[in-house]
Amino acid sequence: MLHRFYPDAYVDSTYGIDFEELYAEGYRGIIFDIDNTLVPHGAPADGRSRDFFCRLKELGYGCMLLSNNKEPRVKSFSEAVGAEYIFKAGKPAVKNYRRAMERLGTYEENTLFVGDQLFTDIWGAKKAGIRTFLVKPIHPKEEIQIVLKRVLEKIVLFFYMRRRK
């Protein structure tokens, strides 16, 4: 039962994923969560995130931000990194993952999703048929509802890690 929440890969950081290799494998679109995936919760885009999106575009990727946040937060980050966005996405509902792929011109088979939360980001992307990368949160400061979910995530990750061995 817990396997529905298991990511395809669990990595330390978004910035450590080998996107060159994934491009060579045929992936063309990447959907990202923002908070604690690309920058600390609520932080503006920084030099590292701007350079990162520039590099992804040079590789040939289409990039989309998919966030449950309100538009002002998502739009300002989007403008800074030059990526399209969908705000108030309702993750883990599948609808906006599909909408993101439609806007990117990609399909389940050539789209990646990168996020830091199992029960919203990863579960929604898995339901949409997208390859998932769970990243460790960048910073421990989070909203209370996320802190509570992290307790349950630890249980799922315990069994995920045990299965991987």
Which DSSP string corresponds to 14-26? GGGS-HHHHHHTT
108 touches 101 (CB < 8 A): yes
Indicate the pTM of the whole model: 0.92
pLDDT score for 139: 75
- Rounded CA gap, 8 and 94, in Å? 17
Q: Which residue do the tokens 């330390």 mark?
A: 12
What are 39-61's pLDDT values in tens digits?
A: 998 999 999 999 999 999 999 99
**With 90 as the cut, is the pLDDT of residue 2 above it?**
no
How far is Cα 87 from Cα 6, in angstroms, rounded to an integer?
A: 24
Tokens at 123, concatenated = 């579960």
**Residue 42 backbone zone (phi > 0: left; psi -120 to 50: alpha; other: beta):** left
CB atoms within 10 A of CB 138: 18
Query: Does the pLDDT of residue 148 top 80, yes or no?
Result: no
pLDDT tens per residue, range 98-136: 999 999 999 999 999 999 999 999 999 999 999 999 999
Q: Is the pLDDT of residue 94 over 70?
A: yes
Highest averaged pLDDT of the listed ranges 4-8, 79-83, 161-165: 79-83
